[in-house]
Structure 1
Amino acid sequence: MATTIPPSMAPSTANWHWKNKTVTPWAKTWFERELTTVSVQGDGSEIVSVEKVIEVDGDVELGQRKSKLITIYDCKVELDWTGTASDGTEVSGKLTIPEVSHEITLDKTSDYSYNWSLKTARSPEVDALFALAKARLPAALEAKFAQFPTAIIETHGRDLTVSATPTREGTPAPAAASATSTATAATPASSAAAARPAVKASAPAVNTSTVSVEGNFMAAADDLFSLLTDEKRIPAWTRAPAQSTAQKDSVYSLFGGGVHGKYVSLTPAKEIVQTWALRSPTWPSDHHATLTTTLEQGSDSTKVTWRLEGIPLGMEEETERNLQGYYVHGLKAIGLGTEL
C-alpha cells in the first residue's frame, strides 16, 4: 500500500518520521528461491549445491527515518546441501547459519558462522567433497546474502517513502474532455501561447558528497580489471546478471540492474571511470554519480580504490556500506581476499 501524506505534512517532513514494514514472509520466499541457485565446483568433476532451504527463523523489517531506508533483520537459516564426489558418489548434508543479519552483512560487526553435518557414509572421496563444501560454499552464500538488503529495499521501499511528485499510478487516466464542462473559445493570445513550445523544467539540484572504499586483492591488476568489466566474469562476484561492454560511452548494469550507467573512460589494468546510479526509491530520479576505480599493482597483490562522487547528501553511510559489501566483499568472497 502506498504511503499517503496528510495535507499539512510536506513530503520531507513525512519521510522524517519512523515507519516500519514487516516483510518476513517475503524474505523466507526470497531465501528459498535465491539460495537454491548457489553452487560451487572443485578442481575436477566435484560439485556442491544448495538443494533446499529447510527453515528461515527470525524477523525481517524495512524501516524508514529521515528519508533513509534501513534494513532490520536477524535470521537463522537451515538448508540441505548435496554434491557429487570425484568417484560419482552422491553426498548430502545439512548446514545451519545461526545468524544472517544486517549487522554481519553490512556493518561487518562479526563473521558468519557455519554448523555443518554430513548424512552420507564417510569415505576418502566423501570426505574430500565435504572439505570442498566447507571451503567454497560459504563464500558463495555470503555473496548471495550481500544481495538481500538491496532486494528488500527494491521490493518494498516504495511502500515507506513518500514522494513529492503526484502520480497517476493505479488511477484511471483523465478523460480528454469533461461532458459537463463548458467549452471556452480560444482567443488569439491563448492560441499564440499554446503554439509556443513548452519549456522543459530543469531537474532540481542535488546536494552531493563523496565516499571512498578500498581493498587489497590477491590478483593481478589486469585480471581484476577484467573481473570488473567483462560481462561474462562480473557475475562471479556479483552473483547476479550483468550487462557490460568495456568501451567508452557504452552502457552497463550490475546486480540485475540495481546499478547502472555508462563508461566514461577505461585504462586497462589502471583505471575505470563510469557514471553510476541506483535503481532505488532513495536515489533521485535521473541523477548520476561518478565512480572512479583505480588499480595499483603491487608485488604480490593489487590495491583497488573505489571513489564515488555525487552521492546525494544523507546517503553517504548507506552507500559506503554497500560499496564495501557488494564490491570489496564480493571480490573477496570468490577467494581474492588478503589481510594486507
Structure 2
Amino acid sequence: MAKWGQGDPRWIVEERADGTNVNNWHWTERDATGWSKGKLEELLVGLVVEGEAGRCEISDLKHVEGEASCSSRKGRLIFFYEWNLRLGWKGTVKESGEKHKGSVEIPNLSEENEVDDTEINVSKKKGEGDVLKDLMRTEGATKVREALRDYLRALKTEFTLGMILPTKAATGQELPAEQNNSASPQSLDTVGVKIPTVKILMKEIFNSPADKLYSIFTTKDLVQKFSKCPAVIEAEKGGKLQMFDGCVSGEYAELVPGQRIVLKWRCRNWPDEHYAMVALHFKDMAAQTELQLECRGVPVSNEDSTRQCWKKQYFEEIRILLQQPQDSME
C-alpha cells in the first residue's frame, strides 16, 4: 500500500483519512447479470430477417441462463460473461403465405469464444417450411451475431461508465482531437471531466405552426402532458429543466420565441456533471414546422440511447399530443 502522501496518484490517501478505494483503483466488481438480461432482450427480440424465401422475426426470449460481471483492478477492466439463450422465431413463406415457428439456441456465449465462433443452432417445428429454417440458419444467424456484438460493446462501454474514474492528474489532460467532438469547455460551462463525445443531428416535421410547437417545449402543463410525468420547467435564461421523473435535467441557456431553444441537457445515467448542449431550431412552414435538433457533447457510449430518447420520448409523444383536440392543449 502507498504510504501517506506517496505512491501512485490514483491512490489519493493524502486527501482521505479513511483510505477509501479512490477511483476504484483497487479491486471492485459490479454484477451485470440483470442489466445483461434486459439488454439481450432489447437487442434480440424484434430482429427481422428477410430474404427471397420469406420473412422471419425473433418473437421472444424464451430462456436465458447465465451471468455476467465486470471487475476493475488498477485501471483495467476485466469482463466475465457466460450465457445459454433460447429464442423463439416466427415467419411467413413468401410464395405460399404459410406461417411457421421455431427456435434459436445459443448454448455458450462467453468470453472464451469470439462471437463468430459462437454456436447458433436453428430448429423449426414439424411440417414444411424448411426454406424459412434455411433463411434463419444463414441470414438469421448473421443478424443474431450482430446483436450479440452490440451487447458486448454495450457491456464494455455503457455498463462500465464510472467504474474507471479519471485521476486527479488526468482531469486536466486534453483528449485527442479526433475523440473530442463536443463543444469547448467554456461553451458547455461544466465542471465535469472530458470524455469522448459525439454530435447528434436530427430533423423532424410536425403538423403545427412554429410558435405552437415552441410552446410545447416551454410550457409546464404541455411538457407534463407529452412526457406523462411531473416536470420542472422554468422557461427563461438560466431556468431549470427536469423531466421524466428526473431522468433528464438541465437548464435553459437561450430562448427565442418561435425560433430557437438552447438547453444545457443531460441524462441521469451520464457521468456526473457532464452536460450536452442541445439546440432546437424551429423553421416555420405555415401549417407545418421543421424542427432541427443539434445535440453536442453526447457521451459516445450513450449515442444510441440519446437518439431514442429524443425520437421516442419527445418527438413521437409530441405528435400524439398535437393530434388531440385544441382545447386539451390550452
Q: Report the TM-score, using the length of structure 2 for normalisation.
A: 0.44
The structure, 1 or 2, with the larger RCO (C-alpha pairs under 8 Å, 6+ apart) is: 1
Q: Report the TM-score, using the length of structure 1 for normalisation.
A: 0.43
